[in-house]
Structure 1
Amino acid sequence: MDKLIATRNLDNLITKVEAARLRVSEHHIVKIVGISKYSTSEDIRTLYEVGQRAFGENKVQDLKEKSLALEELPIEWHFVGTLQKNKINNLIDLNPTLIHSLDSLELAIELNKKLESRNKKLSALLQINSAYEDTKSGVLPEVAIETYREILEKCPYIILKGVMSIGAHVEDENTIKKSFQTTKRIFDELVPLGARYCSMGMSSDFELAIECGSNLIRVGSTLFKN
């Protein structure tokens, strides 16, 4: 990807994010994480050079390889994939800024145990399956607040920063909207407990997600297309 394309992609994305953000409120700030799982380290470097700072990977091994290849750049790395228990130690070593995919109390307890043994803390989001889809990970909305409180109580080495969900995988915009609104309602209840991020929205639905209150979007193809 050359710089001209990277600049165009980022500018177009920012224009759309700005328009959606202002439909909510001029005070509504949205963070953009570039999902680089199908892209090369060089593509990430090019986007970094034109102003994108946060990138997310969904495999621990890929995060390791790309963060090593680009270690001279102060990139803010996010882990957005399903975290397998046997990969926890490897992920801790990489020290990501934020883990988006804490999808159960059981996983949180395991992660906390490994963090405690190293006397290290990591920030994470609780993943909510607000679309009620069998193919998606995450806690169900009915137990999300209770699970969040339990993680706060039982896992002192995890710094919970909010929630994440993936919009319903359907064509019907109302169904997608409902799934986002469900996550946002839960997020609002968790703000007094320190929740800062409501991470919703990907390349196909980020504008709708922002209008429903998302303040962190995860976009891949929109940023990396040639």
Structure 2
Amino acid sequence: MNLAQNLDQAIKRIEQARIAYSRHHIVKIVAVSKYSSSDAIQTLYECGQRAFGENRVQDLAQKSELLGDLPLEWHFIGTLQSNKINALLSLKPALMHSLHSLELAKELHKRLESRNQTLPALLQINSAKEESKSGVEPQKAVETYHKILEEFPQIKLQGVMTIGAHVEDRAIIQKSFETTQVIFEQLKPHGAEILSMGMSGDFELAIACGSNLVRLGSTLFKA
């Protein structure tokens, strides 16, 4: 597994997509390390990668402890179950990408308040309207974002996240990204800075739709 080569190639592809969108556009990579060893994470760190994302709280706990000597930026990108909230908050992730409902925001806020703690987060939008995905419906996203800002101040909303439509048709995937970009543009005057869209199979398309944070797993960790 040539991780250095994988990262170089990913950066080149991101650069091409970024420049085609706008020379002033900046795109951040979060390396999705859910199927990877701590050794692989350390190797990517040595190549210059700093932000890593985990889907499961227990994996995040284990890897962040094993690699505690490295100044890594840990992101939580999975669906959070209410019985894992305390465990996640103890880990103090740099960013939670998957705040998918008002109910979860309410529960998180309650625990954050009791700990006198804040949590940077992204509102997850189900822009593809797929039953298999978590997230706020697009038509309710702006209202939900404002409600969280007003009612749950311990949650520090930074922007929005979506997962592209799970189909082969690129036009449908693009539509799901464009739907989220429109919502993001409406929220920018209210402090939204991060538009997290795009994974290994569709990150160039996501960047063409304005994404400034991509979540790459197999692209970086492939053999």
Q: Fold-level match, TM-score > 0.5?
A: yes
One-letter amino acid matched to 1:36: S
1:136 equivalent in structure 2: 133
What does 1:24-173 align with in structure 2 at a 5 Å threshold?
24-173=21-170
Shift of 1:6: 1.3
Q: How far, CA to CA, are the matches of 2:147 and 2:33 in structure 1? A: 32
Aligned-residue RMSD, C-alpha: 0.5
Q: Provide the secondary structure at the position in 1 that maps to 2:98.
A: strand
Q: Provide the secondary structure at the position in 2 that maps to 1:37.
A: coil
2:215 equivalent in structure 1: 218
1:7 equivalent in structure 2: 4
Identity, % of aligned positions: 65
Q: Provide the secondary structure at the position in 1 that maps to 2:215.
A: strand
Shift of 1:22: 0.4
Shift of 1:7: 1.1
1:72-101: CA deviation from partner (whole Å, max 9, x where unpaired):
000000000000111000000000000000
Shift of 1:145: 0.2
- Unpaired runs of at least 5, structure 2: none
- Unpaired runs of at least 5, structure 1: none
Q: How far, CA to CA, are the matches of 1:154 and 1:40 in structure 2? A: 39
One-letter amino acid matched to 1:35: V
Task: Normalising by structure 2, report the TM-score.
Answer: 0.99
Shift of 1:127: 0.2
Q: 1:193 is matched with which residue: 177, 190, 193?
A: 190
Q: How far, CA to CA, are the matches of 1:110 and 1:193 in structure 2? A: 23
Q: How far, CA to CA, are the matches of 2:102 and 2:54 in structure 1? A: 22
1:190-221: CA deviation from partner (whole Å, max 9, x where unpaired):
00110010000000000000001000000000
One-letter amino acid matched to 1:166: I
Shift of 1:182: 0.1
Q: How far, CA to CA, are the matches of 2:96 and 2:188 in structure 1? A: 18
Q: How far, CA to CA, are the matches of 1:93 and 1:175 in structure 2? A: 39
1:29-75: CA deviation from partner (whole Å, max 9, x where unpaired):
00000000000111000000011110000000000000000000000
Task: Normalising by structure 1, report the TM-score.
Answer: 0.98
Q: Provide the secondary structure at the position in 2 that maps to 1:178.
A: helix
Q: How far, CA to CA, are the matches of 1:50 and 1:26 in structure 2? A: 24
Q: How far, CA to CA, are the matches of 1:120 and 1:34 in structure 2? A: 26
Question: Following TM superposition, where does structure 1 have runs of at least 4 consecutive aligned residues deviating by more than 2 angstroms?
Answer: none
Instruction: Give aligned pairs, total.
Output: 223
